[in-house]
Amino acid sequence: MTSPIYYNGQEYERRTSNDSLKGYLLATAASGAVLAPLPWLGMPFQKQLIKEMPNNREYKDAFFKALDISGLKEKGVNIVEAQKVLGAPPEYALGRNACYIPSAKQVLINTDKISCAGLHELGHAMNDLMSKYGVKYLAKMRGAGYAIAGLMEYFAIFSRTKPKGAPRSFTDVIEDNCGKIAFWAMLPVVIEEAIASYRGIKLAKKAGLAEPLVKNMKKLLGKALLTYGGRAVLGGLAVYASRKVMDYFTRPKEINY
Ligand SMILES: [Zn+2]
């Protein structure tokens, strides 16, 4: 047996490197299992996006009208047709995705296919360029949110677990709460997406989009939000699961005689 460790007069047994390896393998497997439904979460959105394509003429009309009346043009926002840009990512050119690029003030989209998604992207542009109350900063936290959530997985798996009764350092506290932190780090993204959708729908109405199509848009954007919300929840749970498994295999055990 290896030499025991002591905290507050309590004796603990060190765990072996074999335990750590087992923990690592099972923790990554657990995290993978929790994240497995992720591609499936985005399916309802993708399906409806394709279903809305026959209505694109109306959406496209509303999209360009919305661009005019929103004041975004004056702020320097321009639309880049992904299908006409050489080397644009295929999912954008084919009309499977669209995005707003804040640094370039550009909406990258195929307006011949998915103008309904474009209205949501105009919502992002408004968040970036025309918002009060710090909504702008939610968008800026996007990158940091993803980075922190990723870092928490690292904390869950590679940190060294101390016995339960041991004094806690700053990194121990992070380690103990890594699942929650991963979830909270993703929340700004979810909130900013919701506000972009809300603004996109408001713009669509102002631009005169027919009521049944406004309804469809609400459904579509609701499904998109479900994807983001689901990602935050599953991301947090995956980190939590990894941490629990690592805990089980690497936390020193109390020795009581
Ligand atoms: Zn979005």
- AA identity, residue 75: K
Give residue 196 CA to ligand 1 midpoint distance, Å.
Answer: 7
Weakest mean pLDDT among 74-88, 99-113, 141-155, 160-174 = 160-174
Residue 44 lies in a domain: yes
Q: Which residues contact 48 (CB under 8 A, 6 or more apart)?
A: 216, 219, 220, 223
Question: In the chain, helix, strand, coil percent, each to 5?
Answer: 65, 10, 25
Q: Is 11 exposed, middle or buried (0-12, 13-18, 19+ CB in 10 A)?
A: middle
* Digit-coded pLDDT (tens) for 13-68: 888 889 889 999 999 999 999 999 988 998 999 999 999 999 999 999 999 999 99
Give residue 159 CA to ligand 1 midpoint distance, Å.
Answer: 34
Instruction: Please give the C-alpha separations between residue 54 and each of 60, 119, 146, 181, 221, in angstroms, as whole numbers.
Output: 11, 17, 35, 42, 17
Residue 2 lies in a domain: no
- AA identity, residue 67: L
Res 195: pLDDT: 95
Res 7: pLDDT: 80
* Digit-coded pLDDT (tens) for 177-234: 999 999 999 999 999 999 999 999 999 999 999 999 999 999 999 999 999 999 999 9
Residue 1 lies in a domain: no
Q: For the chain, how many structural domains are there in total?
A: 1
pLDDT band at 1 (very low <50, low <70, confident <90, very high): low
Give residue 78 CA to ligand 1 midpoint distance, Å.
Answer: 17
Q: 55: domain range?
A: 7-254
Percentage, residues of the chain above pLDDT 90: 70
* Digit-coded pLDDT (tens) for 96-142: 999 999 999 999 999 999 999 999 999 999 999 998 777 888 888 88
Instruction: Please give the C-alpha separations between residue 22 and each of 13, 15, 156, 177, in angstroms, as whole numbers.
Output: 17, 11, 14, 22
Residue 91 lies in a domain: yes
Residue 42 lies in a domain: yes
Res 201: pLDDT: 97
What does pTM read for this prediction? 0.86
Give residue 85 CA to ligand 1 midpoint distance, Å.
Answer: 21
Res 110: pLDDT: 96
Strands lying side by side in the sheet with 106-109: 78-81, 106-109, 99-101
DSSP strand E in the chain: where? 5-7, 10-13, 78-81, 99-101, 106-109, 253-254
Residue 17 lies in a domain: yes
Res 59: pLDDT: 96
DSSP line for 73-118: TTTT-EEEEGGGSTT--HHHHTTS--EEETTTTEEEE-TTT-HHHH
Residue 224 lies in a domain: yes
Question: Do 118 and 98 touch, CB atoms closer than 8 A?
Answer: yes
Question: Do 81 and 30 touch, CB atoms closer than 8 A?
Answer: no
Residue 25 lies in a domain: yes
Question: Do 15 and 252 touch, CB atoms closer than 8 A?
Answer: yes
Q: Is 98 exposed, middle or buried (0-12, 13-18, 19+ CB in 10 A)?
A: buried
Give residue 93 CA to ligand 1 midpoint distance, Å.
Answer: 17
- Nearest CA to 130 among 85, 82, 215, 73? 73
Cα atoms in the Cβ-side hemisphere of radius 13 Å centred on 217? 31
The span from the CA of 230 to the CA of 228, in Å, is 5
Give residue 146 CA to ligand 1 midpoint distance, Å.
Answer: 15
Give residue 246 CA to ligand 1 midpoint distance, Å.
Answer: 35
Q: Is the pLDDT of residue 164 over 80?
A: no
